[in-house]
Amino acid sequence: MRTVSAKLKHIGTSLSSSSRPYSLTPLASSHGKPRNPPSPTLLNEFVNFCYQRDLPKAMNAIAAMERHGIYADSITYSELIKCCLARNAVEQGKLVHKHVFSNGYQPKTFLINILISMYVKFKLLDEAQALFDQMPERNVVSWTTMISAYANAKLSDKALEFFVLMLREGVLPNMFTFSSVLRACNGLFNVRQLHCGMIKLGLESDVFVRSALIDVYSKLDELKDAICVFNEMETKDLVVWNSIIGGLAQNNDGDEALDQFKRMKRAGFTADQATLTSVLRACTGLALLEVGRQVHVHVLKFDVDLILNNALLDMYCKSGSLEDAKSVFERMVHKDVISWSTMIAGLAQNGFSQEALKLFDLMKASGIKPNYITILGVLFACSHAGLVDDGFYYFRSMKRLYGIDPGREHYGCIIDLLGRAGKVDEAVRLVQEMECEPDAVTWRTLLGACRVHHNVDLAIYAGKQVLKLDPEDAGTYVLLSNIYANCQRWEDVSEIRRQMREKGITKEPGCSWIEVNKQIHAFIVGDTAHPKINEINRRLNQLIHKLMGIGYVPDTNFVLQDLEGEQRDDSLWYHSEKLAIVFGLMSLSSGSVIRIRKNLRICGDCHTFAKLVAKMECRVILIRDPIRYHHFQNGVCSCGDYW
């Protein structure tokens, strides 16, 4: 049997000609005649009950009508079905289905479609398909309902199969059909085939179709195609703007997402909840606190919107502004598991582990059941505070107390916790007992612990496991090279460097970003491109000499081992976060927090430097790296030097 992808190759042909119909067993098509003359009173009462949404009386009337062979019109039955859906009355819905087919009566296609939709909304797909299979005639609504149902249920192959069968039966898809079937596409080939079909039918300019195309191209990380579809539209509405902004934000292209948001506003469109959620996601990815605060003003119009408030909460947590996050959290009228989990993880990542665990206790007391992400935040809090016993308790009891099976991320947190506490052997045993296969992140976590605690043999083994799973991981190559160099195993150092050269692997340069006056300034190690770099370097040199006067000594353990002597010191002096800190001191008022985002984990020397600068200059410095957030104030860091 050919695959769905192969079948979709012939969409163009199917759209222009029909072949054999989709053969299914039809219901009897004869229309039964009422056994008794209609009773106007009974029928009128039934109609009134349906429109008044009086379900018990309507169901009683149905029984009487069935005895007399009386039937209402399709619109009335549709009102009754709406009532069943509103009350989640599954059994009553089935009785309506039975009634409209009783005594040989054959309802119209319109009503059968409504019944199919009812079963879909009740999540009874087998019943929906059984009714669909018995239809003597199926129109575009019938097919689209089933395709949409399977797409929503993540039964992608089934949705695509029904689309092909629909074409074979000679039914032309409409904009809603394409919007539905696109959601079922997991591969670019099928999307492109469907895209061609839309063009042949002249539907490519439809707003719903364009929006669905942008969504699916974005989901497949094909942003160029998504932007191309967007730009081809002569007239755009809010749905399409939301699709492109959301797609860009989801694919971590926050700059372009914000640019499109500005274009949308200039075009005269007003942002809704979906727009603002995506814009907040873009601000979160870029750590643009000031822009996020401007978006917060728009959010106030939708103050009770839970999804929007959760996005706002996430933005403040990931921008390191916990006071703002706490304010949003406390003002939220409704909180779901996402709200609590976001706040717990935010506190943990910002170094406030005890507060995170207290909030977890409050969450349980409120009656909200923790989920997979909640426990991950709790374990992260334990890991980054060295709470070994607490961490193990939550890890070992998560299945028993909350019915949550530990995943790789949970194991990773506990391995990290044990490694940080120096319990490397226990961490290795946990890796060995994992129910799922350890991935590169798990081995990388163990490698980091071995490096800190100088377990050379195990570090080399873990490093090799990482490279088996992720052969392009430059950081692991460099770390292994440094470990070999520290052991004076120079032949191994040469071999690692040879492998890197042959594979074209280079270490990603450290980069730091800082927002000043709504503009982002980027720095890399040894930067020469910034227009104020000479002044920054001069101020940095002065600052380092000043710090050396109170005991600061550059820690060259965090420099590549193939640098020597003063060259190694110089490399440390011009790390990107140091340049960003000095630029912040130069550019921001004395009361402003210096907020920096980094692409790599902060090194130990820069961590010490930031603590000393925060104390000497009486400033608050916040550095966000890929792992966590460091709040430096009065010579201490929120991580407690445990990172």
The pair of structure tokens assigned to 549 is 């006067």
- List all residues 6 or more positions away from 64 whose beta carbon is below 8 Å from its beta carbon: 42
Q: Which residues lie below 8 Å from residue 403, measured CB to CB, with a gap of 6+?
A: none
**Closest to 381 measured CA to CA, from 640, 148, 132:** 640
pLDDT of residue 537: 92
Kindly tell me if the per-residue pLDDT of 483 is higher than 90: no
Cα–Cα–Cα angle for 395, 399, 405, nearest 5°? 85
3-state secondary structure of 293: helix
Average pLDDT of 498-523? 88
What confidence category does residue 558 fall into, taking pLDDT thresholds of 50, 70 and 90?
low
Distances (CA, A) of 600 to 399, 511, 636: 34, 7, 21
pLDDT at 561 over 90: no
pLDDT category of residue 77 using cuts at 50, 70 and 90: very high
Give the pLDDT score at 288.
Answer: 82
Residue 151: what pLDDT? 94
Q: Structure tokens of 321?
A: 């502004």
pLDDT band at 312 (very low <50, low <70, confident <90, very high): very high
pLDDT of res. 28: 35
**Nearest of 440, 584, 609, 455 to residue 521 by alpha carbon:** 584
User: pLDDT confidence of 557, banded at 50, 70, 90?
Assistant: low
Place of tokens 């599954």: 90
Structure tokens at 525: 């190690």
| 641 Rama class: left (phi>0) / alpha (psi -120 to 50) / beta | left
**pLDDT 10s digits, 314-373:** 999 998 899 999 999 999 989 999 999 999 999 999 989 999 999 999 999 999 999 999
Q: Give the residue, 46 or 207, on which the prediction is more confident.
A: 46
**15 closest CA partner among 143, 134, 164, 136:** 164
Mean pLDDT of 21-32: 36
* Residue 85 predicted with pLDDT over 50: yes
Mean pLDDT of the chain: 87
Would you call 327 helix, strand, or coil by DSSP?
helix
**Does residue 27 surpass a pLDDT of 60?**
no
Token duo for residue 185:
């596409």
Distance in angstroms (rounded) separating the CA atoms of residues 612 and 553: 11
Q: Who wins on pLDDT, 35 or 453? A: 453
The reported pLDDT for the residue numbered 562 is 42
pLDDT at 62 over 80: yes
